[in-house]
Amino acid sequence: MTEFSIAIPAHDRGKNGPQWMRELLDSLERQTCQDFEVVVSDQSKNDNIMEVCQEYDLDFTYIKYEGDVPCENINIALDNCEGRIIKIMFSDDIFMRKDALERIKKEYDSNDCKWAFSGFANWDPGTDYFDEKVPEWREKTLEGNNHLSSPTVVSFLNDCKQEFDVNLKLLLDVDFYHRMRWRNGKPNIIPEVLVANRDHDDRISSNATSKYDCVVEHPDGPWMMNSSELKYVHQKYPGFIANGKYPDEN
C-alpha cells in the first residue's frame, strides 16, 4: 500500500491556477518521502490543470469533476485515495518543508494517531510574509471559532476518512473536524509549520466569495458568520450544541 495519498481538489483560477498548481507540485517533488500518490479532482472548465499535471513524473490519478460544489470536488478526491494516510492539499497552497510528509509519517508511526493537524503559516505572497501558527481546538469550533485552519492543515488515516457536507461552504471544514473528532477522538497536533495557506481574494472564506451576515458573540471575541449555515449546523447537531462535549471529554 502507498504510504500517502495527496488529495488535491482543484478548480480554475484563471492564469493563477496553473502557476499555483506548479508551486504545489514542486513542493511535492522536493519531499524527502516520495512514497505517495497524487489524486486530483479538477473542477475547472478547461484543461489547464490537467496539462500542468502532465508535466510531472508523479503517480497521478486525475478526475475531471463536472459539477460546481466545492465539497463534492473534495469528496471525489478522497473517494479515489488508496494510501494509508490521506493528506489534503488545496491547489493554492504549498508544503513549507521538504520533510513535511516524513514528519507526518513519524506522527502516525510513533503515536496512537488516527488524524492530525500540523503547524501552518498564513502566507501573503505579495510580501512573502508568513504568519506562523499552531492549530488550537477552541470552544465553539463547530460554529466558526476556527483556530485549526483549512483542510490543507489536516491528515488522517484512510480507514478514518469521512465526506465533507455538500450543504456547507464557510463551515465545511469545522463540520468535518467535528465529525472526525466525534468518531476518532481529539486529533494529534504536530507543532512544526509544515504547510502554508495562500492568502488571496478567491479563497472560499474570503469576503469576495462568501456571505457574512451575522456576528457570533463569545468571551474570546466575536466573529462573523453566515446565518443560514449557522442555523444548519445547529439543527444538524442539537445535542452537541446544547452541551458542547465530545466523547473524549466525558
DSSP assignment of 7-62 equals EEEE--BTBHHHHHHHHHHHHHHT-S---EEEEEEE--SSSHHHHHHTTS-S-EEE
Distance, in Å, from the CA atom of 200 to the CA atom of 76, rounded to the nearest integer, reads: 25
Query: Lowest mean pLDDT: which of 27-31, 107-111, 172-176, 198-202?
Result: 198-202
pLDDT tens column, 42-56:
999 999 999 999 999
Q: What pLDDT, on the 0 to 100 scale, is given for residue 175?
A: 98
| Average pLDDT score over residue span 183-187 | 97
Q: What pLDDT, on the 0 to 100 scale, is given for residue 203?
A: 62
Q: What pLDDT, on the 0 to 100 scale, is given for residue 207?
A: 52
Q: What pLDDT, on the 0 to 100 scale, is given for residue 127?
A: 84
Reduced to 3 states, what is the DSSP secondary structure of residue 194? strand
Q: What pLDDT, on the 0 to 100 scale, is given for residue 125?
A: 86
Please name the fold of domain 4-249: Spore Coat Polysaccharide Biosynthesis Protein SpsA; Chain A (3.90.550)
| Average pLDDT score over residue span 99-108 | 98
Q: Which one-letter DSSP state was computed for residue 3?
A: S
Report yes or no: 180 and 187 within 8 Å, Cβ to Cβ: yes
